[in-house]
Amino acid sequence: MTEAKPRCVAALVIGLLALALRWRAVLMRPVDYDEPIYLEAASQFASAIQARDGPRLLDNRHTLEHPPLVKLLYALGTLAVGHGQAQLTTARAISLLFGVLQVALLALVNPVAGFFLAIHTMSIKYTSQAYLEALPAFAALLSIVAFQRSRPQRGGLDRWLILSALAMGVTAASKYTYLVTALVLVPVLLWRHRRSLRTAALFMAIALATFLLLDSQLWVDPLGRLLDSLLFHPAYSQSQHVVSQNLPWWQQLHYLSHSIPWHPGVFLFSWDSAIFALALLGLPLLYRQRPLYSAWWALGMVVLLIWPTRWPQYTLIIAAPLCLSAGTLLTAAAEWLDEQTGFVRTLRTLAPDYGFWLFGALVVAAALVAVSYVQLQYARQMAGWTTYVTRNSGLPGDAVRSLAMDDEGRVWAGTQRGAACLEDGEWHVYNAANSGLIDDLVRAVAIGASGRAWFGTDHGVSLLDGEQWYHYHTGDSGLLDNHILCIAPVRDGQDAGAVWFGTEEGASYLREGEWSSYTPENSGLPGGRVLSIAIDAQGRVWFGTWGGLAVYDGRSWTTYTTQNSPLAYDTVASLAIDDEGRIWCGTLDGVSVFDGQTWQTHSILTMALRFNTATALAIDRLGQVWVGADLPVGPIGAAAMWDGQEWHDYSPYFSGFRRAPVRSIAVDHHNRIWFGTLLEGISVFEGFQIDVETSE
């Protein structure tokens, strides 16, 4: 067996590893900051292509600071699958493809380096989302690899040099920052062909022609638009948005030397610090063996340190040479060890193809270790948890959208197949066929005064009062809309017994048989779609809507949006009020807390929550805040808890094997935490269970 075959097999296996890790990130990670921006550009390109509107295609200056090639690829994906979640997933898959190709290519150069790049968290993150990094990162590496393979040809370019020039043109047409490779490669090219500059001129002509051909933004006004694009970056680096971040000059060193902390549980390996340390130690060796790559890394590092805009994705311009430096050091260490022990030479006498079989054995061993580790982690996750699903209980449906606890300690659940009550270990099911429930799809459940159970459906409201059922819908009551999203009974004060209903059109209020309705047109509601309602100790009613937060004190309204307050996002999906009277707002971009005077926001950068989409909130009997979240583009959920000092991640239980978006959270008398999930029924955590008599 030749040396090339085992290396190709190694590259294939490492590429599959990279694929698995990046696809995991595609499914588990939230929408990142710039993804909507690039997808909007892709949508505009797709619209122009679909309409066959050439002028509109060429005049699209959306994100003019970056060439359009990657955005055009995303546009083709948009044309294939449409908009919405499918567009995001497809764009991420396109990015993933080039990220995996980069890993496989580096593995051909050095398998250990390819492995390091495969598990590198920063590389995984930015080559598995709809950013612009993956294609230029791959093209830049391809340009260097092909250049290294080229051989001088009399009077022309060999195929490797042509491929290198084409790859450099693709790099330029994808994102300018990756042209740091050109700053390294072109001087070497000129020196190598100093006696015949015709070869160097042909190379640069091919690269330039490729760039101009693929950058449709320049076709109308090449020089003017190129200057606009390039001059944008210095101006942006001095903008208020960048300056306000106040990042230190060594920030990029911090990014490179630490694994990503922002998405707990997404990355299976956290070896970035070790990779960086090995890369530093291996740089002298890399310089001796592959000087072009060492120059790439050194020059790229200088650029990262001096450039004022210090976003983490910029570190990918040197991820490949960094991993190659670390891989070169370990490869040299293995060769030295073989020289001292003769271990590999002994294997060679036993099996000529030792390299291939040794690598295969290592892969199998690593797979067994990984499987064992995952099983162990799963067993640990299950400790303290109980699950109710249709296959192991009398729960009527696994899509549990709402949970409520009554004064008797019974648990009420609203599912897609009716409502259910857990009493003495047995589920009692109520549906349209066996009871007076108006519809089987129950989106909201609440327990009001005297233990009356309210059920909100897509066809109105049902009330179970003892054994008697009552119904309310737009045809026979003052209910504003039949699509009920949330219910909040008033249990204390002079309005005890009244009930608030959140609908798609606004809020309805029922008190002693009289109905009142509130919409954005006749009240201070900032949005018609009322997603959550909470009532504080003063009797004020808080509304989380699709357009912001509002509070009604019975006389006047106060509205909070991102325009007039530090509210994290205008879609407030969930609300909870703690013992200090603070309002916790779960939004689609983090959790905002309002104490009546000041705001504090917990986002994915500061909290142990994998996604910013906080769909459920609850306060337990110890004052701990529980947050449930949902990934917008996949069936994956997450959960976290704030103990007053720090966040604790409970996401592995929902995001590992179960893939269960959290839709509701409730706390029982014993402080057990009940999670209603969209796919996997109800999960109950007993880790903070308390004795009721002792606690009282």
Q: Could you tell me if residue 682 is inside a domain?
A: no
Task: Answer with the residue of higher pLDDT: 498 or 633.
Answer: 498
User: Span 180-204, mean pLDDT?
Assistant: 88
pLDDT at position 365 is: 57
The domain in which residue 481 lies consists of 388-614
Q: What is the mean pLDDT of the chain?
A: 87
Q: Are residues 24 and 145 in the same domain?
A: yes
- Is residue 340 very low, low, confident or very high in pLDDT (cuts 50, 70, 90)? confident
537: domain CATH number is: 2.130.10.10
Maximum mean pLDDT: which of 253-267, 306-320, 492-506, 593-607: 306-320
Q: How confident is the model at residue 379 (pLDDT cuts 50, 70, 90)?
A: low
Q: How far apart are CA 79 and CA 42, in angstroms?
A: 9
Q: What is the pLDDT of residues 74-129, one digit of tens each?
A: 999 999 988 776 888 899 999 999 999 999 999 999 999 999 999 999 999 999 99
Predicted local confidence at residue 284, as pLDDT:
95
Q: Percentage of the chain with pLDDT > 90?
A: 58
| Overall average pLDDT of the 135-147 stretch | 97
pLDDT on residue 34: 84
- Per DSSP, the residues of 356-382 read HHHHHHHHHHHHHHHHHHHHHHHHHHH
Residue 263 pLDDT greater than 90, yes or no: no
pLDDT in tens, 477-487: 999 999 999 99
Residue 386 pLDDT exceeds 90: no
Quick one: which H or E segment has residue 98? helix 85-109
pLDDT at 655 over 60: no
Q: Within a domain: residue 127?
A: yes
668: confidence class by pLDDT, cuts 50, 70, 90: very high
**Predicted pLDDT of residue 1:** 43
- Supply φ then ψ for residue 100, to 5 degrees: -70, -40
Residue 646 lies in a domain: no
In this prediction, residue 550 carries a pLDDT of 97
Strands (E), 416-545: 418-423, 426-430, 442-447, 453-457, 460-465, 468-472, 484-489, 499-503, 507-511, 514-518, 530-535, 541-545
| Phi/psi of residue 488, nearest 5 degrees | -135, 100
Q: Which residues contact 355 (CB under 8 A, 6 or more apart)?
A: 3, 6
Has residue 693 got a pLDDT over 90?
Answer: no
Q: 472 and 410, same structural domain?
A: yes
Span 5-14, mean pLDDT?
83
Same domain for 409 and 325?
no
Residue with the larger pLDDT of the pair 361 and 464: 464
Report H helices in 110-158: 111-119, 121-126, 134-149
Query: How many structural domains compose the chain?
Result: 2
Mean pLDDT of 227-249: 82
Query: Three-class SS of residue 18?
Result: helix
- β-pair partners for 560: 549
Range among 463-467, 677-681, 691-695 rated most confident: 463-467
Indicate if 328 and 395 belong to the same structural domain. Answer: no
Question: Residue 440 pLDDT more than 50?
Answer: yes
**Structure confidence at residue 377 (pLDDT):** 53
Question: Per-residue confidence at 439, pLDDT binned at 50, 70, 90?
Answer: very high
165 and 33, same structural domain?
A: yes
Give the residue from 313, 341, 369 where a domain finishes.
341
- The single residue listed with the structure tokens 């050091």 is 329
152 lies in the same domain as 237: yes
pLDDT value, residue 688: 84
**Has residue 657 got a pLDDT over 50?**
no
Higher pLDDT, 214 or 29: 214
Do residue 298 and residue 432 come from a single domain?
no
Give φ, ψ of 448 to 5 degrees: -100, -160
Do 329 and 474 lie in one domain? The reply is no
Please give the pLDDT value at position 632. 55
Q: What is the pLDDT of residue 118?
A: 95
Domain shared by 155 and 257, yes or no: yes
For residues 337-349, average pLDDT: 65
Complete DSSP assignment for 396-428: S-S-EEEEEE-TTS-EEEEETTEEEEEETTEEE
pLDDT, average across residues 558-562: 95
Give the mean pLDDT of 676-695: 77
> pLDDT category, 372, cuts 50, 70, 90?
low
Please tell me the pTM assigned to this model. Answer: 0.60
Is residue 319 located within the same domain as residue 431? no
517 falls within a domain: yes
